Amino acid sequence: MEDSVKPWRQYQEEAAAYFRELGLASETDVTLEGARTSHDLDVVVRFERAGLEHLWIVECKHHARPISKDRPLLLRQIVDDVGGDKGILLAEGGYQSGAYEAARFSNISLASLAELRATADDEILDVAINEIETRVRAARGLLYSLSKYTRHPRGGSGRLPTTPSDWDKGGAIGLLGHLSILESGMTGARARHFPATYGFASDGSVLRADRKSFVVLARATIEVLESVANGLEPVEDK
């Protein structure tokens, strides 16, 4: 009979899952070679931003003892040694005052997993928003690339592609509307104006989400819209 998952390992997996929910690639139990030595790491998060690869190191402490100043200092050394951009120390037992001082004015963040989920750290939020915005632009670009615009003396006319039969939200015009409302929500979320819009309900009312749940719901919305856009056929010439 297999042993149950240890609480500390479950904590690591929950931390990694949180970053995956935000669209960031994350792995647990990773060994990275640094400039001075190798490091066994709890969670490694990788993502691209502004054309650059970023690396975050997450250390997880699932015990009742408050974290002392030594852990943030050590994590900072590890982040520097592996060429990381940020370190996040997650602990459920809280932190001693010296730990906060050690992390102050550095690239190390201190929180519990619950606090991280509840507050949606600004940097994490911006990374997720960038990823969703890129996908919204790509879906709209695909829609327009499959459309047909005809010029004539009195102006012009456009024809949008036919949407798949299982999309019953206003055809291609509805698809554009959903992309627009999601993009509007991205703008609001970037300015920290919550609740932010992320879609339309079946009755046509606008859906909004708070800071804690916005990214998860917005990502779910863009996944549906991408699926619809990828099922479009180009407009044929008449």
Give the separation between CA 132 and CA 33, rounded to whole angstroms.
31
Strands across the sheet with 86-91, in order? 25-33, 38-49, 52-61, 86-91, 108-111
Q: Report the CATH architecture of 7-119.
A: 3-Layer(aba) Sandwich (3.40)
How confident is the model at residue 238, as a pLDDT?
Answer: 58
Q: How far is CA 117 from the centre of its chain?
A: 12
pLDDT tens figures, 111-164:
999 898 877 678 888 889 998 999 999 999 999 888 865 554 554 455 678 777
Average pLDDT score over residue span 26-45: 97
Is the backbone of residue 29 left (phi > 0), alpha (psi -120 to 50) or beta?
left
Q: Where are the domains of the chain?
A: 7-119, 124-230
Read off the pLDDT band of 28 (50, 70, 90): very high
Read off the pLDDT band of 3 (50, 70, 90): low
Average pLDDT score over residue span 48-59: 89
pTM over 0.85: no
Two structure tokens written together for 70: 């030594």
